[in-house]
Amino acid sequence: QVTLKESGPGILQPSQTLSLTCSFSGFSLSTYGMCVGWIRQSSGKGLEWLANIWWNDDKYYNPSLKNRLTISKDTSNNQAFLKITNMDTADTATYYCARRSTEGILFDYWGQGVMVTVSS
Amino acid sequence: EIVLTQSPTTMAASPGEKVTLNCLASSSVSYMNWYQQKSGASPKLWIYGTSNLASGVPNRFSGSGSGTSYSLTISSMEAEDVATYYCLQLSSYPLTFGSGTKLEIK
């Protein structure tokens, strides 16, 4: 059974760095073809893809967030991470992690999401 | 960046009515995924590879399209189909989602 669960600080102040963890089970990020991605959704708005990390440690980022994103993984502990620097109120959103199956189906399983609020 | 434009933004359909949701890409894409999101819940994979139904998706749903034009069709609207539907292009980075179509029932 595939499950993913995001965790994060809940609230942080502008200019701080957001650190998110995606803890998953039912698959391994060391398996050929596997990938985990991060997507966010501002309140009442649409979905925005942020980054992907692949089994071979290839990484892809949304250029709209320029150099603020860093994605990483810990395959031993079945976790993926996302850091976003210089957080702003505009980054207030629900952050999701989702996986790509080895059969090539992108974002077939999603976590429940974690709400992050940026406020002074 | 490939921009996906979904139409309509919002629509209401009667039970039993045929529904078509559209997703127009600014450049040609190889295939499209669709996700269903109900209020307060995470998105769910609904259709992948343009026309393949995800596990558990009722067969009243179908997907089609090619190039820059894709669609999701419900052959007969049911109350449980009320949700927002998003398309996602996977052909090139950055991955992009459409802005969604909110489907309501009359």
Please write the tens of the pLDDT for every residue from B55-95: 999 999 999 999 999 999 999 999 999 999 999 999 999 99
- Rounded to an integer, the average pLDDT of A15-22 is 98
- Rounded to an integer, the average pLDDT of B39-50 is 97
Q: Which of B35, B54, B94 faces A62 most closely, judged by CB atoms?
A: B94
Provide, as residue numbers in chain A, all residues whose Cβ is less than 8 Å from the Cβ of B49. Answer: 105
Please write the tens of the pLDDT for every residue from A39-97: 999 988 889 999 999 999 999 999 999 799 999 999 999 999 999 999 999 999 999 99
Confidence of residue A103 (pLDDT cuts 50, 70, 90): confident
* B54 contacts A60? CB cut-off 8 A: no
* A111 contacts B95? CB cut-off 8 A: no
- Rounded to an integer, the average pLDDT of B15-43 is 97
| Strand ranges (E), chain A | 3-7, 11-12, 18-25, 35-41, 47-54, 59-61, 69-74, 79-84, 93-100, 109-110, 114-118
